[in-house]
Structure 1
């Protein structure tokens, strides 16, 4: 899979002591957090489409947020949000679609109707999947997450033309990977459990994504 990832120097996170960047001066800005999986979705979208020079990163320190962010930029006071064409839009899944539709670069939505339908189904389930993963940490995480990862393994086998959910890299992968990647690490380090054991498609999916990230 060809990607448009390039290395870049990430700007420091802005805090309550930081001045607000100019607003609506014609610059497209992605307000983000380097630790937030929701924000990571749009960061991945931006980089995959090769928009590092078109969309400027503005990192926000979520533990010490500048007051101007809520007051002047995005009243929801969450990341990610995108400043573009005189408005600010938010919500990570909506922003994947927005960036894909409004900027150049490889499309994250397949033309095949069957793949598009399956992709919509998977994305409609992602919030319930992530809630289930987080709630599992209060109990037997290995047992409680087993069915989730089995379902992902099955979904990754739906199409046989690539290691991703829809064959080619798409918005579905972006919707899921920031969360699955984190739980892969947490379950390995805390519970000494490898979620990819016995799940070769899940293993390949995570490994291919990791290879993409190392090219940043």
Structure 2
């Protein structure tokens, strides 16, 4: 797997007063928001494929987004989106597959049939996993999320040739990692709970994931995320 060693400078987010870009000029652009876990998936995939020079990163300020983004780029007005070959694609799980399949770099999904099948199961489960966590923040999250985190711990025991879901870091991990990053922050800081307690495989998964440059460079700003979380869920 490509692991970039050059630290990429994060460009400033574009706002409502930012000038339109020269759309569809042959440049491949990935539109993201630094706080968005969905956009982070595509960003991680780009980095882990070593595509920093091939796919330009274009951050958008979602609270003050440019009108031209919806009008000229992506009518749903969401991130992530990818401008490539005179078209724009969206939806994060579709995008990570697209980037993996249509660009150079080591593949991020295994060829082994058993691993592919299990990887597909994991990716198809991720929305169920995340949508089950967020509502608990108004209730008893430690108790109510126990089964969801246990699911991941059990899934991490399926293969024994690496610390990740399919052994080596893959699209299955990318589907989950940006959300686990945020859940770990929230449970630790807000609920004073360690989601890896009693889950050694999950603890190792997080620890090893944090060593991967392509992911590490995308990590959310802890304080900025906590502030946004408190406004959204604890106000």
TMscore range, shorter length: over 0.9
- Residue aligned with 2:3, SS: coil
Q: Is the Cα–Cα contact under 8 Å of residues 31 and 81 in structure 1 kept in the other structure?
A: yes
Matched, 1:39 2:39: yes
- SS at the partner of 2:64? coil
Q: Write the distance in 2 (CA, Å) between the matches of 1:201 and 1:107.
A: 24
Poorly superposed stretches of 4+, deviation over 3 Å: 213-216
The 5 A counterparts of 1:110-121 are 110-121=110-121
Aligned counterpart, 2:107: 107
Give the alignment of 1:48-197 within 5 angstroms: 48-197=48-197
Q: Corresponding residue for 2:229?
A: none
Q: Distance in 1 between matches of 2:61 and 2:49?
A: 25
In structure 1, list runs of 5 or more residues that go unmatched.
Answer: none
Cα shift readout 1:166-216 (whole Å, capped 9, x = no counterpart): 001100000001001110110011111001011110000011111225864
TM-score (norm 2): 0.89
Q: TM-score, normalised by structure 1?
A: 0.97
What is the alpha-carbon root mean square deviation over aligned residues? 1.2
Unpaired segments of 5 or more residues in structure 2?
Answer: 218-235
- C-alpha deviations, 1:59-116, integer Å up to 9, x for none? 1000001100000100010000000011000110000011011101111110100000
Is the Cα–Cα contact under 8 Å of residues 6 and 47 in structure 1 kept in the other structure? Answer: no
Give the whole-Å Cα distance in 2 for the aligned partners of 1:150 and 1:108. 25
